[in-house]
Chains A and B, each alone.
Chain A
Amino acid sequence: MKPAPFEYQAPASLDAALDILAHRVGDIGEAKVLAGGQSLIPVMNFRLAEPALLVDINKLAELDFIRRGDDGGLRIGALTRQRRLERDLSVAEVAPLLHETMPFIAHPQIRNRGTLGGSLAHADPAAELPAIAVALRARFRLRKAGGERWVDAADFFRGLFTTLLEPDEILVEVAIPPLPARTGWAFLEIARRHGDYAQVGIAALVTLDDAGRCREARLVYLSAGDRPIVAREAARLLAGQEISPQAITAAADKASRDEMEPFGDVHATAEFKRHLARVLTGRALRKAAERAERTKGRAA
């Protein structure tokens, strides 16, 4: 047997799952939520994690949904499989950045099990979905027995594999607002092999004003620090400007030099990752700006 022994419960309702967690807080050992298991079971197989109790939420059909929100955006249940996000037409229409990013996440066999909520709760700084959620200004609904709160994606990620989630909380839903009018998007990453975790990646959004200048840019990086990295200063340099080669270079330099802290590893030094980030920033900004041009007439 690979994992250490644990107690297993597979409640049939969210309330039952929350009750189990509420009663286990402060109890001996650790209770863990089991979603797709695509990150949790590998670390348990290595015995890097030895939770005393697994609360399997896979029977909670109530957490598996994709629907349109009142604001025209999307409401997505935390248990929604990554493969479903990849194939869903409303995701492609309302959140094309998310749609386009899905195939970069691991492999189909993993995405068939892996969930949206699991990837966000896992908070790997090299993962795509946390960066996308921050770029899209998603909001997360966290429930616990007798209470709930909504938090901004940008506040949720606290560091390496660390989030705002309390041990008795479950991430239940993700709300993604619609894109503003005249907004283009791009997702780019460099990985050694398709489906591998990226050495560095970027999600970019560019909103143009009526004169075709940048009203707002948003640049969010993965594998560029201990959590999704938002390059606020670089975005500020672009605001009010035309997306010219000079403006792009200035923003790419700023973001890669001053706004990220990538970790070096066996495949790429920190310096090389900054270089990749600088190049990707240029490509992503050009692509996003081009798409924003083309969406001219479209209202939000």
Chain B
Amino acid sequence: MSGLYKVSVTVNGQAYEREVEPRLLLSDFLRHDLGLTGTHVGCEHGVCGACTVLFDGEPVRSCILLAVQADGHAVTTVEALSPNPDQLHPLQQAFWESHGLQCGFCTPGFLMTLLPFLEENADPSEEEIRHAISGNLCRCTGYQHIVDAVKLAAERRRESDG
């Protein structure tokens, strides 16, 4: 007797209302119910970080949150990053230029993890960057180019702020 529950959630600034089973994961809700397939699912048990989204502004794993728990909250996914289809977000641009991705499966999770990190850390050291991404797995890049991308994004942010 699991029944359906009403969820009212704001995703990328847009309000949605849906009826869902309580066992529906937030990651599947985003992908299947809302069609936002930018959020990727790798492990589905909290280990790989591919499914990272912002929940009320803080990065969380959407695969170990229930959609019903998002009721009344605001979620931000990777789809919110680029201002229009022809322009990348500066962090995405830096990933692209630094070869911070190969297959790209892990990339949405890295981006959503790094977005709030860069807001709190204007000039992160390599060690701080590596700590920040320690909860995200990438099978392709070996991480070095991701670290480069973060440095580049931070540098450009400082320049445009300064």
A residues with CB within 8 A of B: 1-8, 10, 34, 37-38, 41-42, 44-46, 54, 56, 58, 83, 103, 106-110, 112-113, 193-195
A42-B23 CB under 8 A given contacts A10-B68, A37-B64, A108-B59: no
B58 at interface by CB-CB < 8 Å: yes
Which of B2, B23, B63, B135 is A107 in contact with, Cβ under 8 Å? B135
A5-B23 CB under 8 A given contacts A37-B65, A41-B64, A109-B61: yes
B99 at interface by CB-CB < 8 Å: no
Beyond A3-B25, A107-B134, 13 additional contacts (C-beta under 8 Å) are A1-B25, A1-B28, A4-B23, A5-B2, A8-B66, A41-B25, A45-B44, A46-B45, A54-B22, A108-B59, A108-B135, A113-B60, A194-B131
Residue of B nearest to A194 (CB): B134
Q: Which parts of B22-44 form the interface with A (CB within 8 Å)?
A: 22-25, 28, 44
A195 — which chain B residues lie within 8 A by C-beta?
134-135
Nearest Cβ distance between residue A84 and chain B, in whole angstroms? 11
How many chain B residues sit at the interface, stated as a range, is 20 to 34
Instruction: Please determine whether A109 and B135 come into contact, CB atoms closer than 8 angstroms.
Output: yes
User: In the bound complex, what is the Cα–Cα distance between A190 and B28 (angstroms)?
Assistant: 35
Which of B2, B59, B68 is A112 in contact with, Cβ under 8 Å? B59
B28 — which chain A residues lie within 8 A by C-beta?
1-2
Instruction: Please determine whether A109 and B60 come into contact, CB atoms closer than 8 angstroms.
Output: yes
Which of A1, A37, A107 is B24 in contact with, Cβ under 8 Å? A1
User: In the bound complex, what is the Cα–Cα distance between A187 and B64 (angstroms)?
Assistant: 29
Nearest Cβ distance between residue B67 and chain A, in whole angstroms? 11
A5 — which chain B residues lie within 8 A by C-beta?
2, 21, 23
Nearest Cβ distance between residue B137 and chain A, in whole angstroms? 10
A-B contact pairs, 10 of them (CB 8 A): A1-B21, A3-B25, A5-B2, A41-B25, A42-B45, A42-B46, A46-B45, A112-B59, A113-B61, A193-B134
Which of A2, A3, A7, A10 is B3 in contact with, Cβ under 8 Å? A7
Instruction: Please determine whether A37 and B69 come into contact, CB atoms closer than 8 angstroms.
Output: yes
Residue of A nearest to B1 (CB): A7
B55 at interface by CB-CB < 8 Å: yes
B52 at interface by CB-CB < 8 Å: yes
B118 — which chain A residues lie within 8 A by C-beta?
none
User: In the bound complex, what is the Cα–Cα distance between A37 and B66 (angstroms)?
Assistant: 9
Which of B44, B61, B134 is A2 in contact with, Cβ under 8 Å? B44
A109-B2 CB under 8 A given contacts A5-B23, A10-B68, A45-B63: no
B59 — which chain A residues lie within 8 A by C-beta?
108-109, 112
User: In the bound complex, what is the Cα–Cα distance between A175 and B35 (angstroms)?
Assistant: 45
A110 — which chain B residues lie within 8 A by C-beta?
46, 61, 135
Instruction: Please determine whether B69 and A56 come into contact, CB atoms closer than 8 angstroms.
Output: yes
